[in-house]
Amino acid sequence: MTGAGMSAESGISTFRDSDGLWENYSVEEVCTHEAWLRQPEVCLNFYNMLRRKFKDCKPNEGHKLVASLQDQFDVQVITQNVDNLHEQAGAKHVLHLHGELMKCRPEGRDQGVYYPLDPENPDINMGDVDSHGVQLRPHIVFFGEDVPNLSRAADIMETADIVVVIGTSLNVYPAASLLRYAPSNAPIWLIDPKPVFSPYREVRQIQKGASEGMKELVEILREQ
């Protein structure tokens, strides 16, 4: 399970740190369903900006090491991130909890309906509609909206032999609550440079960034 710290080394700003994206933008203005209904163009412009800002970002060593574990394990990635760096690194099974930046969907329709955006021209503008004439919006789970993949993530967590948590403060709910679905005999490893408290289970923390932490963990797992 990965959070914003997974992609920080790739140049994608975290939202909650002191220099994160929310320092320059109000969550209430760009990332709630109410904001979308009130001023959709402002929301569209914010996510258009993010796509342009991060379009050249590449997977870091941490992403690549996660994908490399597929040689030895059945790796299921549950990510809170909206970038596609896990996929770029070669991860085969990635479940996005909070949506995907490079996709759009019609407002008000089933979240299973979405469309990929053109990497060379990824903006969504007012007046961009689907074949039914419905305005397109970012394929992002706004604050206050249901997390449609949460039950799938819980199902995956219940089957885990080993749980690895990378780059998350475990303060973002409901994603943080997924740890309570992990089997009691499944060890939980947590990689983050800052001390992290888990309210659900004891964890084995590697207090390093994503890449250095994954290097250490890969060695541990390959020895077992």
Report helix, strand or coil for 178: helix
Domain segments of the chain as ranges: 5-223
Total residue count of the chain as it appears in this document: 224
pLDDT per residue as tens digits for the range 32-68 = 889 999 999 999 999 998 898 888 999 999 999 999 9
Per-residue pLDDT at 111 exceeds 70: no
pLDDT per residue as tens digits for the range 204-216 = 999 999 999 999 9
pLDDT per residue as tens digits for the range 189-198 = 999 998 887 7
pLDDT per residue as tens digits for the range 160-197 = 999 999 998 777 777 778 999 999 999 999 999 988 87
- Alpha-carbon span 190 to 197, nearest angstrom: 10
Per-residue pLDDT at 5 exceeds 80: yes
Mean pLDDT of the 121-145 span: 93
Q: Which of 63, 86, 96, 98 is catalytic?
A: 98
Per-residue pLDDT at 77 exceeds 90: yes
Do 146 and 174 meet the contact criterion of CB atoms below 8 Å apart? no
The CA distances from residue 23 to 26, 55, 187, in Å, are 8, 21, 35
- Catalytic residue status for 33: no
Per-residue pLDDT at 18 exceeds 50: no
User: Looking at domain 5-223, does it have CATH number 3.90.1150.10?
Assistant: no
Do 86 and 111 meet the contact criterion of CB atoms below 8 Å apart? no
The overall average pLDDT reported for the chain is 89
Q: Which residues, 6+ apart, have CB-to-CB distance to 92 below 8 Å?
A: 67, 70, 75
